[in-house]
Amino acid sequence: MTRVLQSVVFALAKVSVLVALLPAQVTAVPVILSQQLLSWWASSAVDAKGMRHQAKDYPKGHAPWMEDVTKQIVPEYSKLDQAHRVAGFGLYRVAVDLKTGSVKKVSVIQSTGVATLDASAIKALGQWLWKPGKWKEVSVPIAFVPFSR
């Protein structure tokens, strides 16, 4: 297990995160990293005026762009990835339509190293919504962490 993944697993025990538990021998847990974890991986956003904001610049890493999410879909693990305990961490750039708050495009900043995990993250992030008129672009870190039951 990589150091980054070990750090994520350790941090998950200490903070509240959005978690989806799926039924299987191995419980796959895609995680949208919490506000406290965002600053660890250089999460940032570009506001409506074109100014870039960094999570590390906000108290306790509470990134306002993540608080402005109005619809959040959790990525899914494939049964094959679950069975093989595939894990990874990815960072994704989301282009947001200022008028509607809907996602225009999702691109990979840092891949999980696994095509199926990246595809799942991209599909889920493409369905997110933000409060209109606030953010042009948002970086979202996602960790895929399998746990044994």
Rounded to the nearest 5°, which phi and psi values hold at 41? -120, 35
- Report the number of distinct structural domains present in the chain: 1
Domain range for 97 is: 3-148
Q: Where residue 130 sits, what CATH number does that domain have?
A: 3.30.2420.10
In the structure, what pLDDT confidence band is assigned to residue 131 with cuts at 50, 70 and 90? very high
Q: CA torsion, points 37, 42, 43, 45, in degrees to nearest 10?
A: 150
Q: To which residue do tokens 């890493």 refer?
A: 61
SS3 at position 26: strand
d(CA 105, CA 14): 32
Q: Residue 52 pLDDT > 50, yes or no?
A: yes
d(CA 111, CA 107): 10
In the structure, what pLDDT confidence band is assigned to residue 148 with cuts at 50, 70 and 90? low
In the structure, what pLDDT confidence band is assigned to residue 12 with cuts at 50, 70 and 90? very low
Q: What is the DSSP string of 63-78?
A: -HHHHTEEE--PPPPP
- Segment 100-121, tens digit of pLDDT: 999 999 999 999 999 999 999 9
